[in-house]
């Protein structure tokens, strides 16, 4: 009986993101790269709102529906001479590439148990640092799976 699909979902999504043509030349990591982050990076963040519901009420082993949200973070930093608007535009290109991976294959290459995943929300913020603008886009990916 599978307890959760979270880790296999993250691993498969990472593989799919690294294979994307737009993202293949930038840093894409399983978790926050911290101080090792490059000027352009995509990383898998926290799993939030994990919920399990039984598919039916019966005794013994029961199939469950698992639904959770995974945050995928896009970070783009630029030189001081870059405009915040240009920085945001580049971050949106990378976020669009993440969304394309999800839209084109919502079952992540037939990941066992995964019913679908989809982008459920996107947030963006830009700060101006002494080194130039830094833009962060957080995509929330909603996943739904059947656990047996």
55 vs 127, higher pLDDT: 127
Instruction: For residues 15 and 60, give the distance between their C-alpha atoms in angstroms, rounded to a whole number.
Output: 35
* Bridging pattern class, strands 114-129 and 64-77: unpaired
Name the DSSP letter for residue 103: H
**Is the predicted pLDDT of residue 1 greater than 50, yes or no?**
no
Query: Alpha carbon of 41 to those of 58, 104, 145: distances in Å?
Result: 46, 21, 28
pLDDT above 70: percentage of residues in the chain: 94
Tokens of 57: 């009420």
Do 118 and 102 form a contact (C-beta atoms < 8 A)?
A: yes
Tens-place pLDDT, residues 90-142: 999 999 999 999 999 999 999 999 999 999 999 999 999 888 999 999 999 99
pLDDT the model gives residue 2: 62
94: Cα within 13 Å, side-chain hemisphere: 30
pTM comes to 0.90
- Integer-rounded Cα Rg, in Å, for the chain is 17
Q: What is the mean pLDDT of residues 32-61?
A: 84
User: Interior CA angle at 76 toward 74 and 79, to 5°?
Assistant: 175
The Cα 124–Cα 93 span in angstroms is 13
């Amino acid at each position: 009986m599978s307890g959760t699909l979270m880790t296999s979902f993250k691993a498969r999504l990472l593989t799919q993101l690294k294979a994307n043509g737009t993202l293949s030349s930038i840093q894409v990591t399983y978790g926050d790269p911290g101080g090792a982050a490059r000027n352009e990076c995509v990383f898998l963040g926290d799993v939030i709102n994990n919920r399990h519901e039984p598919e039916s009420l019966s005794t013994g082993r029961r199939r469950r529906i698992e639904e959770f949200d995974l945050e995928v973070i896009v970070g783009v930093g630029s030189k001081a001479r870059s405009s915040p608007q240009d920085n945001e535009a580049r971050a949106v290109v990378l976020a669009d590439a993440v969304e394309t991976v999800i839209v084109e294959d919502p079952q992540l290459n037939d990941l066992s148990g995964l019913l679908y995943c989809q982008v459920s929300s996107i947030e963006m913020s830009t700060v101006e640092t002494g080194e130039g603008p830094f833009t962060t886009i957080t995509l929330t990916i909603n996943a739904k799976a059947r656990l047996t």
